[in-house]
Amino acid sequence: MNWLPGITTPAAAWLFALLVPLVVFYFLKLKRTRVEIPSLALWLSVIEDQRVNSPFQKFKRNLLLLLQVAVLCLLALAAMQPFVRGRSQRAEHLPILIDCSASMAATDDQGRSRLDLVKQQVREIITNLLSGQRLTLVAVSDSAQRLTEFTDNQRVLLDALNRIRVREVEGNLEEGLQLAQALARSFQIDAVRFYSDGNLPLRPDETGRQVAGVNFDLPFELQFHRIDPGGANIGITAFTARRSGPERWDVFVRVEGSDAGQTAAGVELLAGGVPVGDDTIILEAGQSQRIVFTYDSADAASLEVRLRPDGPDSLAADNVAWLDLPVSRPLSVYCPLELAAYRHSLSGLGGIELLPTGGRDPQRALYDLVIADDLAQADQEAQTFLFIGVVPADLSSLISIGTGLAQVVDWKRDDPLLQHVMFQDVEITDQPTLAEGVDEGDIESLGYEILVQGNTGPLVLRRREGRIASVYLLFHTDRSTLPYRVGFPVLVSNVVGLARDQAELSDVRGIATGVLPELQVPSKAAVDVRTPSGQSLSVLPDAEGTLKGIAAHEVGQYDIRQEGQTIRRVGAGLLSATETSLWGVEEIQFRELTVGASDQPVSTDKPLWSYLAYAAFVFLLVEWWVFLRRPGGEAA
């Protein structure tokens, strides 16, 4: 570190040339006031005594001149903008990423939030901004938002900094880094500064150790400045319900505590605002516990769970969650009579309305599950499709069905659709084959997920298009030994389970903040969405009357209004184990390198011009005082 101060504007040194006219004018303008006194006798002896005894007589004689020279020198130095070199490297364009995810609202013992501490540090950087340095502020939560252009305007930067608010969502550093990477294409960016509490999603590395991994190649230096995490916290991290009977739900609430210490809270379950369950929970540091409530209802209901922390609780956003229970009804499944094996398996499952029955079936506009071996059935209205022996139309040029014995190479054993289904030694006489020059990547690029891979091509595909999930068995099960395997009814049961999930008939999950799920509205008129803080958003539903992509950055209930009427109320909770834990990582693992956290505030270049200007002002006041002061000495 160079201890010599740097100079930002050396050209301002020409101001020192003003010393010459200052001195010249001082002596030219020095006009003494004539004062007639009775006798010089006393003053002559005084002056003689002063000459003998005062070594600083010349200094005192021209004190005003010296003070004026000092003022001018200080002003000239201030204009040169000297600065004390900091430890951190000086960058001309510096993006500052500020984590404003939910955990940044956590408070410490003194009631200061993490975001407040970050703002304090960033404010110091802005205040000490040197000439030629430009900053841009980026707020990072589940998405990244650039708050300012690259600017050295302190007012603009401070205004933007003050506008930053915590978003009660999970953080996603990758979004911020991608934004910085985009900026690096336009500006020379050597380093990016990231301020966070280090509360990032964890994943196991090769050794099984939990690390904060970000799938990103850093094209610049990332300076990770970590703020100490908040105090003890307890919060709801999961809120789900599972149907346990025709009119009964098991409601699960997972409550987790932070590592800071023991936490306790009361847990209250409300249905439509009326308490239906209450419990108390005590957690050791870092522990979690699941509480089960039973709720009897065949009708739709809105459940709310609230925590009443008994002791310090750093984060308030994770103390409440909502969940909407659907009306109880059987799952409507369309399965042609020709697919006897499937109908046989379906008939053994409860809670299913299987159509067609062969008689006069009621006309249905919407099914929960359609099982078909003909692509023409795709025209039916359903949320879940299972096609057997069908190649999707957009894959017809990539996959052909040949004759031959296809062999299963591998399948996703942990996928909910294939759980407990063994494809080993299944004989398949249809042989889906990839066209020449086509590989699995081409299939996946079209939005398909390969669940079962054969020796010549994929055997089972899944695709999600909005709210519709489609599973394609590229081979017909009638031309395979799969229906004779134990796994076949299990596969059908898994498909039914998927359909129940899609129809939200069996498992219901609480809605987390971020983006609200797609919502069906009665008409295509504009919808007014009122956020919990009272803000109003106008959203247009699509052609099918579906609302999509409504941002939910606050915990609370969102009023969906159409034509002045509240048509639905959706509650969103934080429901994030990462954010609730307030855990702060020491390092972030990127693809090729690891970035460690620094707890120390950034030692930036500190400009000295303001101190010099203050000193010049003080010298000016002293000079004014010397010029105007009342005479000293003692009265007789």
Partner 1 sequence: MTTAQLTSLFPNDVLARCERLRINPLRRRTNHSRGEHHAGKGGASTEFADYRDYSPGDDVRYVDWNIFARTGDPFLKLYKHEEEMHVVLLVDGSQSMQFEGKFDLARQLAAAFGVMGLLNVERVSGYATKSGMGAIAMLPSCRGRVSLRKMLAFFEGLEGGGAFTVDDMIEQALKRHSGKGVCVIVSDFLTTGDLTRPFNRLHSAGLEIYALQILGPTEMDPELTGDLRFVDSETGQTLDVSSVGELLGLYHEHRRGLADHIATLCRQRQGRFLSLSSADDIQTVLFDQLLRRGWVR
Q: Which residues bind partner 1 (CB under 8 A)?
A: 30, 32-47, 49-50, 60-63, 626-636
Contacts of 195 (CB under 8 A, 6+ apart): 96, 97, 98, 99, 118, 121, 122, 225, 227
Nearer to partner 1, 208 or 632 (CB): 632
Pairing of strands 428-434, 448-454: unpaired
Helices (H), 41-113: 41-53, 57-61, 63-79
Of the pair 42, 446, the CB lying nearest partner 1 is at 42
- Closest C-alpha to 171, from 473, 579, 630: 579
User: Which lies closer to partner 1 via its Cβ, residue 47 or residue 618?
Assistant: 47
DSSP label at residue 581: H
Q: Which is nearer to partner 1, 4 or 628 (CB)?
A: 628
Shortest reach from residue 614's CB to partner 1, in Å = 26
The answer to whether the beta carbons of residues 550 and 205 sit under 8 Å apart is no
Minimum distance from residue 38 beta carbon to partner 1 (Å) = 4
Euclidean distance between CA atoms 584 and 196, whole angstroms: 9
Minimum Å gap between C-beta 131 and partner 1 is 40
Cα(229)–Cα(581) distance, integer angstroms: 10
Site of tokens 């059908």: 492
- Shortest Å distance, C-beta 616 to partner 1: 22
Q: Which amino acid is at 597?
A: A
Comparing CB distances to partner 1, the nearer of 48 and 599 is 48
Closer CB to partner 1, 3 or 56, in the complex: 56
Least distance from partner 1 to the Cβ atom of residue 62, Å = 7
**Cβ 12 to partner 1 shortest distance, Å:** 32
Q: Which residues pair with 354 in a beta bridge?
A: 333
Nearer to partner 1, 393 or 636 (CB): 636
Q: How far is the CB of 153 from partner 1 (least distance, A)?
A: 46
459 in Cβ contact with 477 (< 8 Å)? no
DSSP H or E run through 358: none
Residue owning tokens 């002559």: 44
- Comparing CB distances to partner 1, the nearer of 24 and 409 is 24
Least spacing, CB of residue 632 vs partner 1, in Å: 5
Strands (E), 574-632: 587-589, 594-598, 606-607
What's the min distance (Å) between Cβ of 73 and partner 1?
21
Identity of the residue, 414 or 634, whose beta carbon is nearer to partner 1 in the bound complex: 634
State the angle between helix axes of 340-347 and 487-503 in degrees (0 to 180), rounded to the nearest 10. 70
Which residues neighbour 361 within 8 Å (Cβ) at sequence distance 6 or greater?
Answer: 355
Cα–Cα dist 571/390, whole Å: 40
